[in-house]
Structure 1
Amino acid sequence: MKLSEVEGHMQKAVEATQRSFNTIRTGRANASLLDRIVVDYYGAETPLKSLASINTPDATTIAIQPYDRTTLNAIEKAISLSDVGLTPNNDGSTIRLNIPPLTAERRQEFVKMAGKYAEEQKVSIRNIRRDAIESLRKQEKKGEISEDESRNLQDEVQKLTDKYTEKIEKLLAEKEKDIKTI
Structure 2
Amino acid sequence: MASVMANIPALKDLHQDLKRRMEKSVEEFRAHLLGVRTGRASVHMLDNIRVDYYGSEMPINQLAQINTPEPQLIVVQPFDLGVVGLIEKAIRMGGQGFNPMHDGKIIRVPIPPMTEDRRKEAVKQLSSTVEDHKTAIRNIRRDGNDQIKKAGKDKAISADDEKRATEEVQQLTDAEIKRIDELFKAKEKEILTI
Please give the TM-score of this superposition, normalised by the length of structure 1.
Answer: 0.98
Distance of 1:167 and 1:136 partners within structure 2? 25
Corresponding position: 1:162 with 2:171: no
Stretches of structure 2 that go unaligned for 5 or more consecutive residues are 1-12
Shift of 1:58: 0.7
* Counterpart in the other structure of 2:87: 75
* Aligned counterparts, 1:50-89, within 5 A: 50-89=62-101
Equivalent residues of 1:34, 1:84 under 8 A apart: no
Aligned length: 182
* Counterpart in the other structure of 1:121: 133
Distance of 1:83 and 1:134 partners within structure 2? 41
Corresponding position: 1:173 with 2:185: yes
The RMSD of aligned alpha carbons is 0.8
Distance of 1:84 and 1:47 partners within structure 2? 16
Shift of 1:147: 1.0
Shift of 1:20: 1.4
Moved runs in structure 1, 4+ residues, more than 3 A?
none
Corresponding position: 1:37 with 2:37: no
* Counterpart in the other structure of 1:130: 142
Aligned AA (1:104): E
- What SS does the corresponding residue of 1:85 show, helix, strand or coil? coil
Shift of 1:19: 1.3
* Counterpart in the other structure of 1:147: 159
Shift of 1:90: 0.9
Distance of 2:49 and 2:119 partners within structure 1? 22
- What SS does the corresponding residue of 2:139 show, helix, strand or coil? helix
Aligned AA (2:34): N
* Aligned counterparts, 1:86-101, within 5 A: 86-101=98-113
Corresponding position: 1:7 with 2:19: yes
User: Matched residues, percent identical?
Assistant: 42
Distance of 2:34 and 2:95 partners within structure 1? 14
Shift of 1:21: 1.3
